[in-house]
Structure 1
Amino acid sequence: MNGSFWSMVFVSRWSRRAVCAAALFACGAALAETPFPSRPVHVFVPYAAGGGVDILARTLGEAVSRQWGQSVVVENRPGAGGIVASQALVTSAPDGYTLMVVASGHATNPFLYPKLPYDTFKDFTPISILGSSPNILLVRADSPFKTLADVIAQAKAKPGSLSYGQSGNGTSTHLAGELLKKLAGFDMSAIPYKGGAPAINDLLGGQIPMSFNNAPEALGQLAAGSLRALAVTTTRRSPFLPDVPAMSETVPGYDTEVWWGLLGPAGMPTDLAEKISRDFVAALKTDPVKERLAKFGASPIGSSPEVLDAKIHADYEKWGAIIKSSGITAE
């Protein structure tokens, strides 16, 4: 990422907060007169159309729009690991009409991009954790590795002999592998790909012995029998793969997942953030939403703003140390 990019997107935090304060005053006066929402709400997605985050945003947008009687317009703004969409959000008015669905990488971006044009904590209003999904450690169906213990045994017996595919430096699949190395006490090489699908292609072709992938990318291949899942990365087994062990069954303390959250710009009134949170939580409880999320291996959550805020802080602390010790930087 070059200097011209940052010069284009940089906005002084002091001036931004002054703008937010003025907008908050106007927003409060408007809310006193007009129930929210009285016009379409825009939701930014920091990734391309068709991916898991996009599907989640559009599914929830349809459900919430029926509650509100107003359109929810999903706008894909991919680029720079979510920074492009985040920058657009933090310069928006804190009136609830501009929101963003983020993935768990939102909490780790400060370590991967040291010159972020916003503050991860001060420039956003947390609203709700929307859902989560495990990552999965995959091997080919004919792999000699039958269990996670087999992988660990070879990695320790033959240091440096193993590698794993992941969907890009600093992604959740990359960090899943680094956490395994740290907790299990062995080394293996991380092979970065431009997304999870290319990693699976090389896994199927025998170029790599294993790969960490998001559930939506893996479920189809698992159902077809071409891949085998050794473990899911959450502390408990996934309801979508009940026969696959959790990583923590072999490596105590292991726990990581992909989660998605809803944010607004800093300065949103507390009652407005809580209302939007309640409405999205209600949408997550509806059968059509639960059924759609289940198709790509996601579990609905729905939380208060405080729970999302705590999650972002916890992941920041957890992954910061690992990213620094592993020397991971954004591609």
Structure 2
Amino acid sequence: MIRTFAGALAALALSAGVATAEFPERELLGVVMWGAGGATDTVARAINPAAEAALGKPIVVLNKSGGAGAISTAYVNAAPGDGYTFLYGAENPQLHPVMGVGKLDYSNFYPVNILGRGVAVVVVPEGSKYKTFGELMDDIKANPGSVKMGSTGPGGLPSTVSALISNSAPFDVIAIPFDGEGPGLTAMLGGEVDFMPSGLSAAAEQIKAGKMRALAVVNDAPVDTLPGVPAVTETLPGMASYLPWGPFYGVFVKKDTPDDVKAKLVAAFATAAESAEFQTLMANRGNVMMNISGEEAETFLVKWQQVTAWALQDTGGAKVSPESLGIPRP
């Protein structure tokens, strides 16, 4: 009986120690949504060392691609909500319900940090007759159905930008689909299309080389990485209600993770995002730093989902109506 009582006391002491232990006690697992070498993986591995230093424990990085991010999202969602397994994710889960991929989106998770986002640009060949975004829009208005736009098909960045523009001004263009932004930009330089909306990271080298010109950044303000290039809102003020917009990168844990654990992760990644090495990488890739968490990040995620889901619906890319999912039109 004495031994049993002593054993019970020992068990209680052990459980109390676990309950009051400082997080993290051991290594963590950061699950990357996409494969090695991709944009999300690059961002994750760039911030990982600074996050390890801030947390004082190693973070094992695991690439778990598949299902446009659905496999990694489900994997983290199935893990214990203790903060030791988190997601290095991109924007894709916000579209999984509307694309019929799955039911999980970021409303099931807590945004530890939205690290940054990519910026779209509207580009033309250097020799193009369009010197400004206003001139391009004027020609599209005067000659509906004549100006050719490079695209990557419904749901891609060019078609989403096209939908956002068309909600603010006449935008009757011929969309020519290509297998990715790279092939589309190459085709544009070859004269197959007149212009193309593209991620800045895909177009940056050609812009620097003087082979193409950025007419506008799809943002509510100019960006430091493209000095002198105006924001699209200078020509189309009505687009401001849909911005900021762009592919994004973030860190997410299960929503039921304890608040004190969330707070430690938030503090660690906020510090990591301020590291000079990470900020340099983001700038070199044409990304805009955000470094936001909690309610501010959730507001961004909700607006991003509304804007993009309805852009997909309007361009025929949605498999499920956003309205049926309770996603209001922005």
Provide TM-score, normalisation by structure 1.
0.83
1:254-301 Cα shifts (integer Å, max 9, x gaps): 233332221112311122112111111111112121112111112322
Alignment of 1:43-192 (within 5 A): 43-113=30-100, 116=102, 118-167=103-152, 169-192=154-177
1:196-227 Cα shifts (integer Å, max 9, x gaps): 22222222222222222212111111111111
1:245 to 2:230 alignment: yes
1-side partners of 2:299 and 2:148: how far apart?
Answer: 33
- CA-CA distance at 1:313 after TM superposition: 1.3
Give the 3 Å change call, closer, same or farther, for CA 190–30 of structure 1 in structure 2.
farther
Give the 3 Å change call, closer, same or farther, for CA 282–175 of structure 1 in structure 2.
same
1:33-57 Cα shifts (integer Å, max 9, x gaps): 4322222222222223223222111
1-side partners of 2:288 and 2:64: how far apart?
Answer: 24
| 1:205 aligned partner | 190
2-side partners of 1:93 and 1:183: how far apart?
Answer: 45
Q: Which deviates more from structure 2 when the two are superposed, residues 228-237 or residues 203-212?
A: 203-212
- CA-CA distance at 1:248 after TM superposition: 0.3
Contact residue 140 and residue 170 of structure 2 kept, 8 A: no
Letter in 1 for 2:304: D
1-side partners of 2:34 and 2:158: how far apart?
Answer: 16
- CA-CA distance at 1:193 after TM superposition: 3.6
Give the 3 Å change call, closer, same or farther, for CA 30–242 of structure 1 in structure 2.
farther
| 1:24 aligned partner | none
Question: What is the RMSD computed on CA atoms of the aligned residues?
Answer: 2.2
Count the aligned residue pairs: 301
- CA-CA distance at 1:166 after TM superposition: 3.6
| 2:25 aligned partner | 38
Q: Which deviates more from structure 2 when the two are superposed, residues 133-142 or residues 192-201?
A: 192-201
1:64-101 Cα shifts (integer Å, max 9, x gaps): 11222322222222333221221222111111121112
Give the 3 Å change call, closer, same or farther, for CA 164–79 of structure 1 in structure 2.
farther
User: Any gaps of 5 or more consecutive residues in structure 2?
Assistant: 1-14, 320-330
Give the 3 Å change call, closer, same or farther, for CA 110–164 of structure 1 in structure 2.
farther
| 2:266 aligned partner | 277
1-side partners of 2:227 and 2:16: how far apart?
Answer: 51
- CA-CA distance at 1:132 after TM superposition: 1.9
What SS is found at the alignment partner of 2:129? coil
| 1:7 aligned partner | none
2-side partners of 1:145 and 1:296: how far apart?
Answer: 26
| 2:276 aligned partner | 287
What SS is found at the alignment partner of 1:281? helix
Give the 3 Å change call, closer, same or farther, for CA 192–54 of structure 1 in structure 2.
farther
Contact residue 309 and residue 318 of structure 2 kept, 8 A: no
| 2:323 aligned partner | none
Give the 3 Å change call, closer, same or farther, for CA 318–286 of structure 1 in structure 2.
same
1-side partners of 2:69 and 2:111: how far apart?
Answer: 16
1:257 to 2:246 alignment: yes
